């Protein structure tokens, strides 16, 4: 059990027989006879639904521990993505919606961490950024104007806007959540 005032982003807690991941937690001090409160944004790990909740600062909540297992992504079939443990060859399936925007960057045989809660796969631990190679992009229009963007097709087939100096074969860093270009990797 942890105090609500100790809640931090990425913690996993149980409330009312549901399991939530803390996305944001802010402490607001009280004044006079008013006690402080913690405003928290929570994501239900089973459904992906978002909720907001206020806790008294001294309220106790049950912290849950997720088990993390390195697994290989195999394939997708319908609404499911299949992962395999590389040593035991045990396979588990996760719904596509649990993978969020990261699903566009997944390739077969890619290793990633799958999080389990009491033996049930809950979600994939996704990186904030990925590095991909530019497959095709047009020649630059104006090399001196770096504020003008051009379109580029990445190795995974995704189209992204990049600066004029990017060429075919360059390695670029992409933000997973937004799909935006961040920088060129040398």
Structure-token match 């309220």, residue found: 59
pLDDT > 80? residue 114: yes
Q: What's residue 173's pLDDT? A: 92
The mean per-residue pLDDT over the stretch 103-126 comes to: 82
Is residue 57 domain-shared with residue 44, that is, in the same domain? yes
The mean per-residue pLDDT over the stretch 65-93 comes to: 88
Is residue 116 domain-shared with residue 137, that is, in the same domain? no
Instruction: Assign 58 to helix, strand or coil.
Output: coil
DSSP state of 140: P
Pick from 114, 60, 43: which is nearest to 85 by CA? 114
Contact by Cβ (8 Å): 105, 152: no
Within 10 Å of residue 165's Cβ, how many Cβ atoms? 11
Instruction: Assign 138 to helix, strand or coil.
Output: coil
Give the number of domains in the chain.
Answer: 3
Domain boundary residue, one of 64, 88, 113: 64
Q: What's residue 128's pLDDT? A: 81
Boundaries of domain holding 32: 2-64
Is residue 51 domain-shared with residue 72, that is, in the same domain? no
Is residue 6 domain-shared with residue 52, that is, in the same domain? yes
Q: What pLDDT, in 10s, does the model give residues 119-174?
A: 888 878 777 888 889 989 888 776 666 678 889 998 888 899 998 888 899 999 98
Is residue 109 domain-shared with residue 94, that is, in the same domain? yes
Is residue 42 domain-shared with residue 83, that is, in the same domain? no
Q: What is the CATH number of the domain that holds 118?
A: 2.40.50.140
Q: What is the CATH number of the domain that holds 21?
A: 2.30.30.30
Is residue 75 domain-shared with residue 91, that is, in the same domain? yes
Give the pTM. 0.65
Pick from 136, 135, 132: which is nearest to 185 by CA? 132
The mean per-residue pLDDT over the stretch 72-94 comes to: 89
Q: What pLDDT, in 10s, does the model give residues 12-61?
A: 888 888 888 888 888 877 766 667 888 889 888 777 778 898 888 788 88
User: Distance (Å, rounded) from C-alpha 180 to C-alpha 65?
Assistant: 32
pLDDT > 80? residue 101: no
């Amino acid at each position: 059990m942890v105090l609500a005032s100790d809640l931090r982003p990425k913690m996993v807690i149980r409330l009312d027989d549901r399991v939530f991941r803390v996305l944001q937690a802010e402490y607001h001090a009280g004044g006079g006879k008013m006690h402080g409160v913690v405003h928290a944004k929570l994501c239900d790990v089973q459904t992906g639904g978002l909720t907001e909740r206020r806790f008294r600062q001294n309220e106790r909540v049950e912290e849950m521990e997720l088990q993390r297992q390195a697994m290989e992504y195999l394939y997708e079939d319908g609404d499911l993505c299949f992962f395999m443990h590389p040593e035991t060859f045990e396979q588990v399936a996760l719904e596509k919606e649990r993978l969020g925007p990261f699903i566009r960057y997944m390739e077969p045989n890619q290793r990633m961490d799958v999080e389990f809660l009491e033996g049930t796969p809950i979600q994939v631990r996704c990186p904030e950024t990925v590095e991909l190679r530019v497959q095709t992009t047009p020649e630059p229009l104006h090399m001196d104007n770096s504020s003008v963007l051009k379109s580029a097709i990445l190795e995974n087939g995704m189209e992204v806007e990049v600066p004029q100096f990017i060429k075919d074969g360059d390695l670029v860093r992409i933000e997973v959540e937004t799909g935006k270009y961040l920088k060129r990797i040398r």
